[in-house]
Amino acid sequence: MATLELSGLRKSFGLIDVLHHIDLSLADGEMLVIVGASGCGKSTLLRLVAGLERPTAGQVLIDGRDVTNRDPSERDIAMVFQNYALYPHMSVFDNMAYGLRIRGLAREDIRKRVDDAAQMLGLGGLLERRPRQLSGGQRQRVAMGRAIVRNPKLFLFDEPLSNLDAKLRLTMRAEIRRLQRDLGVTSLFVTHDQVEAMTLGDRLLVLHQGRPAQLATPMEVFERPADTYVAAFIGAPTMNLLPAELTRDGSAVVLSSRLVLELVDGRRSAPDGTTLTVGIRPEHLALGTGLEMAVDLIEPLGSETLVHGHLTADRGQALVVKLAGPYPGGTHLTVAPRTEHLHVFDRESGLRMDPAGTEIDSPRLAAADIAD
């Protein structure tokens, strides 16, 4: 078990800055999921913690001990990779036992650790097989078993489920979360899949172009996104973002349709005429008077239907609606936003605008004045 602290961590490759001033603390036994688009620096951050890369600036501390310049072998970290990284000529048992033999553990201790991990992962009858004789899910279990037998201080997962089919990903996602909780090992999990991010983590770190956009619990990130990037990234389908203006009475007027949306949670500390972006998730739009849209595409999903279209008052403004049950028919639809679920952002900065006197825990806000 261990704590992890990243202080002022930065990484550049030549003239290209990949990570900008990452400050982060993980409690003992916590699982943090790092999520973001491809190229945002997720895997680089994981490699810095593992010691596979050296930071340009900043520190990595494990249990309060500075390991920034220590080799990976001195950090007591186990890493699970996307491509399993198994030795093809070795049996399942030997793959799981290899690291323990390198460390010089006794044969009896190795056997017990491997047997215990195999039992935990349902691999008991597969220990004599080679990796080529296993399914993708079984190979991923072997990779996890190899990490578990080491009893490491930290688990690092680098998109370990991305090579699996959808059904197997669901099973393995639950398996990883169960094991992490049972073992109580502090863990970093990197993914670009927001479903994995929402279901696996105690907290989420959303990265955007190498910068922390938001650090919070999964539900807080979903319910109170710190900016328009987080709002559009977290949630499927993506949040609808509509241009609007703030009015004197604290309402927002959607510019394309002149629809007045009452901001029920209070006035924003901004002058009349401030340009806004109003966010509304597809599931928070219901049939009723409000926004008129022309329907472009219908996706029936069984218990619900996704309707893609655009506002008739503004041909370029796309809108997605999630309806419970089947589509009612027709080429046009009129929907009403549920105002208690509106999100308001400053259009220029993209940052969330909450009522005066409230704050949001946003690394982007905290780091806004830090020069790179």
Average pLDDT over residues 88-92: 93
Report the C-alpha gap between 10 and 287 in whole angstroms: 48
Average pLDDT over residues 351-363: 59
Report the C-alpha gap between 16 and 60 in whole angstroms: 21
Average pLDDT over residues 43-62: 94
Sketch the domain layout of the chain as residue ranges. Answer: 4-223, 237-353
pLDDT score at 180: 87
User: What is the model's pTM?
Assistant: 0.85
Task: Map residue 242 onto helix, strand or coil.
Answer: strand
Arch. (CATH architecture) of 4-223? 3-Layer(aba) Sandwich (3.40)
Arch. (CATH architecture) of 237-353? Beta Barrel (2.40)
pLDDT value at 269 more than 90: no
Q: Write out pLDDT tens, residues 5-16.
A: 999 999 999 889
pLDDT score at 122: 85
Position of tokens 């520190």?
59
pLDDT score at 1: 66
CATH topology agreement for domains 4-223 and 237-353 = no
Q: To the nearest whole number, what is the mean pLDDT of the chain?
A: 86
Report the C-alpha gap between 262 and 249 in whole angstroms: 9
pLDDT score at 207: 94
Q: Comparing 51-60, 168-177, 347-356, which segment has the lowest mean pLDDT?
A: 347-356
Q: Comparing 127-136, 166-175, 226-235, which segment has the lowest mean pLDDT?
A: 166-175
Average pLDDT over residues 164-185: 85
Angle at 156 (CA atoms; ends 151, 161), nearest 5 degrees: 115
List Cβ neighbours of 338 (8 Å cut-off, separation of 6 or more). Answer: 280, 284, 285, 286
Which has more confidence, 48 or 327? 48
Report the C-alpha gap between 10 and 76 in whole angstroms: 22
Report the C-alpha gap between 129 and 93 in whole angstroms: 8
List Cβ neighbours of 66 (8 Å cut-off, separation of 6 or more). Answer: 59, 60
Q: How confident is the model at residue 47 (pLDDT cuts 50, 70, 90)?
A: very high
Report the C-alpha gap between 218 and 275 in whole angstroms: 28
Tokens of 287: 């049939």
Which has more confidence, 303 or 30? 30
pLDDT score at 322: 95
pLDDT value at 152 more than 60: yes
The dihedrals phi and psi of 74, each to the nearest 5 degrees, come to -95, 5
Report the C-alpha gap between 352 and 366 in whole angstroms: 13
pLDDT value at 360 more than 60: no
pLDDT score at 265: 52
pLDDT score at 267: 45
CB-based contact 330:310 (threshold 8 Å)? no
Q: How confident is the model at residue 52 (pLDDT cuts 50, 70, 90)?
A: very high
Q: Write out pLDDT tens, residues 238-255.
A: 999 998 887 766 666 776
Tokens of 146: 């190899």
Q: What's CA 271's distance to the chain center, in Å?
A: 35
